[in-house]
Amino acid sequence: MICARFLLLLNLLLCLAQESVQGGSIGFCYGRKGDNLPSPQLVAQIAVKESISKLRIYDYDQNVISAFAGTDISLIITIPNEELSNFQSEQQADNWVNHVLLPLTQSVKIELVTVGVEVITLTPEFSQYVLPAMMSIHTGLTKANLADQIKVSTANSMGVLQSSFPPSSGAFNESIKTAYMQPILDYLKAIGSVYMVNAYPYHAYMAESDDIALDYALFDPKDEVMDSGTNIAYTSLLTAQLDAVYFALEAMGHGELSVIVSETGWPTKGDSDESVANVQNAATYNNNLLMLVQNDTGTPRRPGQPLNAYIFSLFNEDEKTGKESERNWGVFSVDGTSFYYLDIEGTSNGAPQSFNGTGATWCVASPAASNESLEAGLNYACGEGNADCGPIQPGNPCFLPDSYFSHASYAYNSYYQRSGDNSAACNFGGSAMITTKDPSYGACIYPSE
């Protein structure tokens, strides 16, 4: 009896341990407003090849969803805004769950149904249908024994907030918080679901570029931004936006709700007045987002809390209207190659930084290293290490500035590159560090693989 109880307790502890170490995750938004996109079957192959484990789809097209059968890719599917009126009764929802959703779940992993997208801000004429549709669909899922497997929610933009800065002032718009937001939040709590927000630092920067620093929007600010209400320092616009959402939820009595970033990203191309929409900034934003998620950094309001986020988007969508940037949020081209390096598997470590978009890395001296350790590392690299130290000799392009830090950086990188950019080759007694920011300057060019 004692042995049996011990085994039962051990199994319980193991289950709790597994739950506690479950971290955040990154997914991609799979929009299809393009006339040149690959087939869903090819998209599934691309996603598997790129180690993408989650996708968000903007409808419930059975042909598209079934393309992911037999993969480990988990899907968020969507009831489009214009169809919400078709899900007002239990009978309507039951019919959809039993004839559309249930057959798909036999071979496809579906984790969430989004009931509308930014309904109150994009199509307010449909807002009356959101909560009844959520309730009908969840009831249908419960009847089909799918409610534990598939959550129900709705996605909102940051536009539902009346105030988002400073983050501690976060509050829902007065015109919608009582009649629209409160019942939805109450229901999300009742069914154990999550709050979904589409958060775009790019749009916030473009709207207020005189007040928001670009590097702050890209996760790598020169100066922290203080919240005067809490004296909390923020190092990224996205975490400030999320904390504004958390404060708004708390003000409504729902601080218990988890938040999914259902859309975020950065465009690679824009009109003449959108010069910040470029490949380097997109690479910087999305790679730093990946580090935020993979490191389970959380936000200042909820430090260490795992974050799930979906990058918008998988592909460019050339049939979208509006400014050029609207058609150029994609990470991958239609042949499956990426427009820039993206560390989906989390091989990079360290603080957020500027990414060059190529995946190149360099080894440089650590700013914290002493001259003594740099001298020792420099002597090893240029001697036994067979690094190319010619460029740092007097009269050559990398001699100036004549300092241990500068000379060691060049020598360390030469040794590192000749070692096949193996991270183990960038140590030098702890006096070196790997960077994705090209340290080249003037005529002094640091080689990279």
Looking at the annotation, which residues are catalytic? 118, 263
| Burial classification of residue 380, based on how many CB atoms lie within 10 Å of its CB (0-12 exposed, 13-18 middle, 19 or more buried) | middle
Can you tell me whether residue 91 is helix, strand or coil? helix
DSSP calls for 365-409? E-TT--HHHHHHHHHHHHTTT----GGGSTTSTT--S-SHHHHHH
DSSP calls for 226-288? EETTTTEEES-HHHHHHHHHHHHHHHTT-TT--EEEEEE---S---TT-TT-SHHHHHHHHHH
Structure-token pair, residue 2: 């004692």
Contact 266, 282 (CB under 8 A): yes
Distance, in Å, from the CA atom of 17 to the CA atom of 115, rounded to the nearest integer, reads 33
Residue 203 sits at the vertex; the CA angle it makes with 357 and 58, to the nearest 5 degrees, is 85
Structure-token pair, residue 400: 């100036």
Distance, in Å, from the CA atom of 46 to the CA atom of 301, rounded to the nearest integer, reads 36
Contact 220, 284 (CB under 8 A): yes
First-to-final CA distance of the chain: 62
The secondary structure element, H or E, covering residue 44 is helix 40-49
